Amino acid sequence: MPARHRTALFAMLLATCPALPVAADEIVLPREAQIGPRPFYLVDKMKDGPLKRALSQCTGPFHRTDFSIGHRGAALQFPEHSRESYLAAARMGAGVIECDVTFTKDRQLVCRHSQCDLQSTTNILTVPDLAAKCSQPFSPADPLTGKKASAKCCTSDITLAEFKRLTAKMDGFNPNATTAEDYQSGTPRWRTDLYATTGTMMTHDESIALIKSLGAKFVPELKAPEVPMPFDGDYTQEKYATQMLAAYKAAGIPASDVFPQSFNLNDILYWVKTEPDFAKQAIYLEERSGLDPNRPETWKPSMAELKASGVAILGPPIYAMLALNDKGEIVPSAYARAAKAAGLDLIGWSLERDGPLNKGGGFYHKSVKAAIDRDGDTLTVLDVLAKQVGVRAMFSDWPATTTFYANCMGMK
């Protein structure tokens, strides 16, 4: 193209897309969700049938949806609970974004999946003065004895200011490491370190401000403390639970935009008593030991008892909601049917967390493993959860997948 034509074309584009003044630190999201190639890859890998045909014809545009929850942000490829991970989730159309909440030595709330995961999710072991504060310093592997490398570094070992000095990385560690540097190089091969060079650590307050600016809703999880409570004399579980919700009040966030969650039923019941507006959307996360989705005697308290106690939403892992029928087809489990019959909403966790599904998946698909043999089964499972189980929303490590499905199926 001649230079004069290129100049004219550029001028025309500028005229039709005028620049808007944007502050240097302002986040501007595209008007439509950017889902990238992965959802279409999953469609291509599905078994032939009506669902694949329907999804193959879905080309967008795609929009943000509350059905799509960013699990730790977009943890499939970005360091979990980092600013970068939250931004990726929002750009992929997640209408709700998760901050797992725990506390530092000076009782400040921060976003981490576990109170004591800093050794595998951050660079703390290569920051000498902070590594020295870890509950259990790095111990190298010994190939002669078979001893594995280990370390334990907790948010409660360090102050908020020290926490902010860390860099988030992809979750993983090398159990055969003989140096701290090697220990931190354990990202599973089906994830990537491509976007993990500058993971920005997030306080709970910072996550609220960021997620609010992105126009999304909030799903904070009160993580189980790994230190004795009360912590530091008088920091009780109740103070901890109250502090988490107080942050949303202080930021002017309406309770209707918050889905507080916990694996501890006592936390949920405490909110029912003290914060009834927030409790209306509180999620009781299911991980009861010995749970069998087809044996009601392993669901104690019962579904009816949970509902009567004030629980509104139950958050089970995918496997608890699914079973195989006599034909080997994926169907709702007895657990899922009982929950819905009792009037409990269901929000499931976590899609895209098992890695490649060509060998049946892992923990999240264990109840339907015999029916899983390809990555495209991600969408088959999601379709059963959405249409037959009737989940209200789904956590996903790659929210583009849930955004794609919800838009294609006309869900909000």
44: number of Cβ within 10 Å: 13
pLDDT, tens digit (0-9, with 9 covering 90-100), for 314-358: 999 999 999 999 999 999 999 999 999 999 999 999 999 999 999
Q: Is the dihedral of CA 233, 236, 241, 247 positive or negative?
A: negative
Mean pLDDT over 195-202 rounds to: 96
Query: Which pLDDT score, from 0 to 100, does residue 197 have?
Result: 93
Expressed in angstroms, the distance from the first to the final Cα of the chain is 45
pLDDT, tens digit (0-9, with 9 covering 90-100), for 95-135: 999 999 999 999 999 999 999 999 999 999 999 999 999 99
pLDDT, tens digit (0-9, with 9 covering 90-100), for 41-96: 999 999 999 999 999 999 999 999 999 999 999 999 999 999 999 999 999 999 99
For residue 281, give the amino acid letter: Q
The helices-and-strands tally (H runs, E runs) of the chain is: 16, 15
15: number of Cβ within 10 Å: 8
Q: What is the CA radius of gyration of the chain?
A: 23
Mean pLDDT over 269-273 rounds to: 98
Residue 150 backbone dihedrals phi, psi, to 5 degrees: -155, 160
Mean pLDDT over 173-179 rounds to: 97
Give, as one character, the DSSP assignment of residue 17.
Answer: S
Q: Return the H-helix or E-strand segment holding 97.
A: strand 94-103
Three-state DSSP state, 221: strand
- For 207-239, give the secondary structure using H, E and C: HHHHHHHCCCEEEEEECCCCCCCCECCCECHHH
Query: Which pLDDT score, from 0 to 100, does residue 23 have?
Result: 52
Please state, rounded to an integer, the average pLDDT across all residues of the chain. 94
DSSP 266-283: HHHHHHHHH-HHHHTT-E
Distance of CA 272 to the CA centre of its chain: 24
Q: pTM (2 decimals)?
A: 0.94
For residue 154, give the amino acid letter: C
Q: Cis omega before residue 61 (within 30°)? A: yes
DSSP 65-79: EEEEEETTTTTTTS-
Residue in 89, 68, 90 with CA at minimum distance from that of residue 80: 89
Give, as one character, the DSSP assignment of residue 235.
Answer: B
Query: Which pLDDT score, from 0 to 100, does residue 8 have?
Result: 45
Q: Return the H-helix or E-strand segment holding 151.
A: strand 150-152
Query: Which pLDDT score, from 0 to 100, does residue 388 have?
Result: 98
Mean pLDDT over 272-300 rounds to: 94
Distance of CA 227 to the CA centre of its chain: 23
For the chain, which residues make up each domain, given as ranges? 38-114+202-408
Torsion, Cα of 81, 378, 95, 268 (10° steps): -70
CATH of domain 38-114+202-408: 3.20.20.190
